[in-house]
Structure 1
Amino acid sequence: MNTKNTLLALEDDQLVIQTGDKILIKGAMASGKTRLLKKIAGQLPKHQFDFLFQTLDDNFISGTVAENLAFNLENNAIPLGQMRASVQESAETYHLTDDLDTAISDLSPYKKQVLAMAQLLIYPTEILVLDEPLFLPEAFEGTLIVTGDFEPELFDQVIDLSETALATVDLDLNRQINPDKAILSVTELVPQMSFAIYEGEKVAISAPAELPIADMLAGFRPTSGEIDFYYEDVTHQSLDKRGRKIGYIMANPDDMIFVKRVRDAGISDELLALCQLTAIKNERLSQLSHRQKRLFTTACILMQATPIVIIEQPEFEGFPEILTYLDQKGVTLLLVTDQEQFLPFMDRQEVF
């Protein structure tokens, strides 16, 4: 029989953590989830836990996927032969075999999320502290402390930092669809993936996560197919030219941030308020949470007033208000997501 011992007690937060506990911290944006997680981590025994950062690039060393998978093993003096076998096994488990020699900077946000977890689980400590992981580790018998949107039934304790329950969202959207005018026509983006988005539509696209669909549509990755904006072939246009037509909000906001402070982007007061940035407009972006950074990059793209906006892996916090704004401005919206909570707000879904 396993005996649990008290690992940590935080009187201010009325939190007691015992060895082997599975704990979920949930709540709205800026409710303090990451702050509490870091507070907990600061009280844990040093060198006895691993921490997954919400900001993806903070989880990696420079180099390749293989080097990152091996990093934890090297630090624990695992013999070379065993290390190579473990790296290969982990790559096969998490479908990273074809990416072993790929530089971290060339990975899609999804692959980065997978790798960030894989490199912890290849040689896990007894305590895992995970800020918004892509998935939960299976058959992990140690102590697990997690933030994110997971089923509460999977945990021993749930700490809910939300002040109030979310109200039922009821939007009045009036944007008319023009079924005779395709704003985006896509032919064989990848084999057997063709579709059209009509002016004024709100469309969700669901496809295997490893396919960089949004990157291809926005011009950040090549496609052997064809992408037409209205009647113009933009497949090989420069990022600058295509960016004036197609706004793209990436899943990883750090790939889009090139200023030091929120105010440096010159965002209008209207968009600052819409994206909940007014109170933090003088803050350094490096001090913001992942969700706040996403709202910042959203405001930057909305400021460009493109006729169509693509959002890669959107987050629901603040989404209804942003959708209402886009509807009022007559902007066509394309979501790349498989989350069902967005579907009631969409005109249709394309599944590939």
Structure 2
Amino acid sequence: MTLGKNGRNDEYSLLFEDFTFQYRTQQEPTLRGINLRVRAGEKILIVGPSGSGKSTLANCINGLVPHAFKGQCRGRFELCGEDALTKDIFDISKLVGTVLQDADSQFVGLSAGEDIAFALENDEVEQAEMTRRVNEIAAMVEIGHQLKNAPQDLSGGQKQRVSVAGVLVDDVDILLFDEPLANLDPQAGTLAIDLIDRLHRQTDKTIIVIEHRLEDVLFRGVDRIVVINEGRIIADAPPEQILAGSLLREIGIREPLYLTALRYAGVEITSALQPQHVDQLRLDAPLPQDGQAMNPCETTVPRTAQAKLQAWDISLPPARPQTVGQPLLQVEHLQFYYPQDLARRTVVNDISFQIFQGEAVSLVGRNGAGKSTLAKLICGFETPQQGRLVFDGQDMGSDSIRERAERIGYIMQNPNQMISLPMIFDEAALGLRVRGVADGEIRDKVEETLRICGLYPYRNWPVSALSFGQKKRLTIASILVLRPKILILDEPTAGQDFYHYTRIMEFLLRLNREMGLSLLMITHDMHLMLEYTTRAI
């Protein structure tokens, strides 16, 4: 038994026993019979498909359930050895610090330093002590040189570090990361996982990570993976055991790409392979051949995972370039800086490329490289200082935003910036209604699209009842019903589990192949780039 601060019995930082929660507005419980124990100082990863109850479980841990999201709790729930169900949300905030997937929604200060100091200001900490602690925590998360910067001047990864500092400064026992990689490029994501791992090693904090990007989180080790589905915990084991089984694929969670390659090569994934990270794989270990003892003189059958991988790679046909038609979109020497920026820092610098009819292209680059700004220029939300845009042979320079929207659909990264109506069906139907489409046709098109996007069961629900990932699918549906000639998607799969990721991408590819819809996908997802596009910019 260990004693934490204030003499608490906190052998378990987190304890659920037969815990059930039902939202006041729902007829069935969202969480059912949850049994979970997390020891002080452990680092665990919670995974599960969209709608599985991950977010509700996270909101129980940080106190939003049942204080902000009302409902009925049954069973036992303790934080650091104390009954959490008798605590108010303020008391829980002193134990649990939450870092949200949308860092912008967590900012309360006009600068990074003010934001980090917010909790200390509420505690009436003296100015000198406050400055010392802010500088100390900022140095720990490597953001000390950004303390005077405004939130809008920070990259996605820097904003996340400020959010982490803002909860660390209050000396909480538990750090809860809610999809910390959702809006980060691969490099920033690696730095984020490095930071989380370093905090775990250097402090006595309990770390809980909820994330879809399993492979990226496992870049640094975790003690356990907890799998939740349909409101129940269905697995709780070390990473090598979870990855060696078929459970993740069965419930629609994307396993690491290197494991998929091994399976395609005919390699059986076992704990002995050490599958928890690509750098730890034991590819040179001998493999049994069909249950028989291996003959050391046998050379015709691959005897190691490495040999099987090489044989599979050699057997694959060479990739063939996609046959394309005429240029549909031509971007010629675009240059742009934001007029309000007195320094006139160039955001888009002499960019030229073409998108062909029926082509699927990925647009990749680190956070802040100008990808989203380029999309805004194409759609007419911003006007370039130099260069021109040509669509289907016609200069778009004089076209209005509405005229461009008839041909180019744009789906933003943040779904909350696109949604304007309270009900799901009405939001998906809005574009058709303003164009005067008949009610029967609207119903057919909207219902078909909602089925593909996995939202048909919720068609009569309010938008406010959807998770972030479900809202993302709703914005995609609201544009897809219009059938534009080219679709620009800003991080189309962010926050999606593998099942819905695959359904959305297969639907987009079907439109691409059967209707000739051109796709330009702004993405950080290397899986998407490799699997679903034939060219990258």
Could you say which TM-score interval applies, normalised by the shorter chain?
Answer: 0.7 to 0.9
Sort the Cα spacing of 1:180 and 1:286 in 2 relative to 1 into closer, same or farther, 3 A.
same
Conserved? CA contact 1:271–1:303, under 8 Å: yes
What residue is the counterpart of 1:48 in the other structure? Answer: 95
1:344 aligns with 2:531: yes
1:193-208 maps to which residues of 2 (within 5 A)? 193-208=351-366
SS in 2 for 1:13: strand
1:323 aligns with 2:329: no
Letter in 1 for 2:363: I
TM superposition shift of 1:81: 5.5
Conserved? CA contact 1:203–1:335, under 8 Å: yes
TM superposition shift of 1:224: 3.5
Letter in 2 for 1:345: Y
Sort the Cα spacing of 1:84 and 1:203 in 2 relative to 1 into closer, same or farther, 3 A.
farther
Distance 1:69 1:164 in 2: 37
1:100 aligns with 2:163: no
TM superposition shift of 1:229: 3.5
Q: 1:5 aligns with which of 6, 11, 30?
A: 11
Distance 1:306 1:293 in 2: 21
TM superposition shift of 1:284: 1.6
Percent sequence identity over aligned pairs: 26
Conserved? CA contact 1:51–1:130, under 8 Å: yes
Letter in 1 for 2:531: P
What residue is the counterpart of 1:289 in the other structure? Answer: 467
What residue is the counterpart of 1:244 in the other structure? Answer: 406
Conserved? CA contact 1:26–1:160, under 8 Å: yes
Distance 1:322 1:95 in 2: 45
Conserved? CA contact 2:156–2:367, under 8 Å: no
RMSD: 3.5
What residue is the counterpart of 1:226 in the other structure? Answer: 387
Sort the Cα spacing of 1:217 and 1:52 in 2 relative to 1 into closer, same or farther, 3 A.
same
What residue is the counterpart of 2:481 in the other structure? Answer: 303
TM superposition shift of 1:238: 4.1
Distance 1:7 1:287 in 2: 30
Q: Deviations over 1:232-254 (max 9, x none)?
A: 44357543333223211111111
Gaps of 5+ in 1: 169-175
Q: Deviations over 1:71-130 (max 9, x none)?
A: 23423445446656847994994599498245xxxx49x945642442332451231112
Q: Deviations over 1:166-196 (max 9, x none)?
A: 498xxxxxxx853432424242452253322
Q: 1:131 aligns with which of 159, 178, 181?
A: 178
What residue is the counterpart of 1:161 in the other structure? Answer: 228
Conserved? CA contact 2:331–2:351, under 8 Å: no
Distance 1:237 1:246 in 2: 12
Distance 1:199 1:122 in 2: 48
TM-score (norm 2): 0.56
Sort the Cα spacing of 1:95 and 1:242 in 2 relative to 1 into closer, same or farther, 3 A.
farther
Sort the Cα spacing of 1:297 and 1:98 in 2 relative to 1 into closer, same or farther, 3 A.
farther
TM-score (norm 1): 0.82
TM superposition shift of 1:210: 1.2
1:121 aligns with 2:165: yes
Distance 2:144 2:328 in 1: 36
Q: Greater CA deviation, 316-325 or 76-85?
A: 76-85
TM superposition shift of 1:319: 3.1
Larger radius of gyration: 2
Sort the Cα spacing of 1:88 and 1:17 in 2 relative to 1 into closer, same or farther, 3 A.
closer
TM superposition shift of 1:227: 4.5
Letter in 2 for 1:210: G
Conserved? CA contact 1:26–1:161, under 8 Å: yes
Conserved? CA contact 1:309–1:334, under 8 Å: yes
Q: 2:48 aligns with which of 15, 27, 36?
A: 27
